[in-house]
Amino acid sequence: MSDMAVAVGGVKLRGPVLAASGTFGYGTELPVLERRALAGMVSKGIFLRPREGTAPPRISETPSGMLNAIGLQGPGVDVLIRDYAPKWAEWDFPVFVNINGESALEYGEVAARLDGVPGVAGFEINISCPNVEQGGLYFGNDPRAAAAVTEAVRKRTSLPVWVKLTPMVSDIGVIARAVEAAGADALCAINTFVGMSIDLNAYQPRLSFRTGGLSGPAIRPLAVHLAHQAALAVRIPVIGIGGIMRAEDALEFLVAGCAAVQVGTATFVNPRAIAEVHDGIAAFLEAKRFTSLTDLPRYLPRD
């Protein structure tokens, strides 16, 4: 068996495949899945206080993908600490909390409340959130705002801090470098693309929120390119995300320079997706006679 372990931004993972935020809930449905293949999980995005999310319809299927506008529904930090973290503390893989805020201060506060809570292994900062203080511009669109959020979290915790980048930028390398300089341990690339779909019977958008985040295989080549651009821009590890359905898809991200991957939408279609991706990577390494995942050639021409 090839060695599948990877070190990513402050943690050693037993494999390269994690569950992506928002597609795995709080992990409580896990017994139905094959947890041996799961290197880690990122929980659904959380704010300081409970949030109801957007009105239905919140999901719409698209060619090779889906649009979602859940509106970051969640129970807030206190309930997460009371109901979920104690369960996570008993699991044999790390759980990262996807943290959100309307201001840099709120992000920092969420991290501070969760710091040291048994079961919380680290943070994934979701910078695809509107910055209320700056008129609703996404934190992730502006290198200064993205760095400010990263710094606010970094200051309040000693746990690993990963920053999840939005694809809705003109140069992902600029944002990647800004959050690396602000203290991120790793980057996750990418979150969903903003999209829209129209119901021709109703003459209006299919989603009540009008727009939604596009995920699934439809975004994969865009995501591979953006993850590669991010990996070229920084020295810290990059975790690739976007449209991974099979092992070959994950291997594209790994060869493009990523240290690990997250699987999201695929789990909705196939609850065994993560296990199949993990096993398929292992089979590829064996067929190519690589003794460990770190031996996989990476395509990262830096000049």
Q: Which is nearer to ligand FMN, 143 or 264 (CB)?
A: 264
Total residues belonging to the chain: 303
Cα 302 to Cα 71, 230, 234, 256, distances in angstroms:
38, 12, 10, 12
- Active-site residue identified among 18, 111, 129, 178: 129
Range in contact with ligand FMN (rule: CB under 6 A) among 4-12, 154-162, 211-219, 232-240:
211-219
Q: Phi/psi at 77 (nearest 5 deg)?
A: -65, -40
Site membership for ligand FMN, residue 98 (CB under 6 A): yes
Q: Which is nearer to ligand FMN, 2 or 214 (CB)?
A: 214
Site membership for ligand FMN, residue 206 (CB under 6 A): no
Question: Please, what is the end-to-end C-alpha distance for the chain in angstroms?
Answer: 35
**Distance, C-alpha 250 to centroid of its chain:** 14
Q: Tell me, by CB under 6 A, how many residues bind ligand FMN.
A: 26
Q: Which is nearer to ligand FMN, 45 or 94 (CB)?
A: 45
Site membership for ligand FMN, residue 263 (CB under 6 A): yes
Residue type, 132: V
Range in contact with ligand FMN (rule: CB under 6 A) among 4-12, 104-112, 236-244, 285-293:
236-244
129 classed as catalytic: yes
Structural Rg of the chain based on CA atoms: 18
Site membership for ligand FMN, residue 21 (CB under 6 A): yes
266 neighbors 24 (Cβ within 8 angstroms): no
The one-character DSSP state at 292 is B
Residue type, 37: A
What mask, x for binding ligand FMN by CB under 6 A, covers residues 44 to 63?
A: xx------------------
Site membership for ligand FMN, residue 150 (CB under 6 A): no
What's the sign of the alpha-carbon dihedral 75, 81, 86, 90?
Answer: positive
Minimum separation from the CB atom of position 209 to ligand FMN (A): 13
Return the structure tokens found at 21. 């935020």
Instruction: Pick out residues in 267-296 that bind ligand FMN (CB under 6 A).
Output: none
Beta-bridge partner residues of 163:
125, 187
Range in contact with ligand FMN (rule: CB under 6 A) among 14-22, 108-116, 179-187, 198-206:
14-22
Interface residue with ligand FMN among 157, 243, 278, 293 (CB under 6 A) is: 243
Residue type, 263: V
SS3 75: coil
The one-character DSSP state at 166 is P
Site membership for ligand FMN, residue 222 (CB under 6 A): no
Beta-bridge partner residues of 274:
none
Interface residue with ligand FMN among 2, 54, 68, 157 (CB under 6 A) is: 68
As annotated, the active-site residues are: 129
Query: Can you give the binding site for ligand FMN, defined by CB under 6 A?
Result: 20-23, 44-45, 68, 70, 72, 98, 126, 164, 191-192, 213, 215-216, 219, 241-244, 263-266
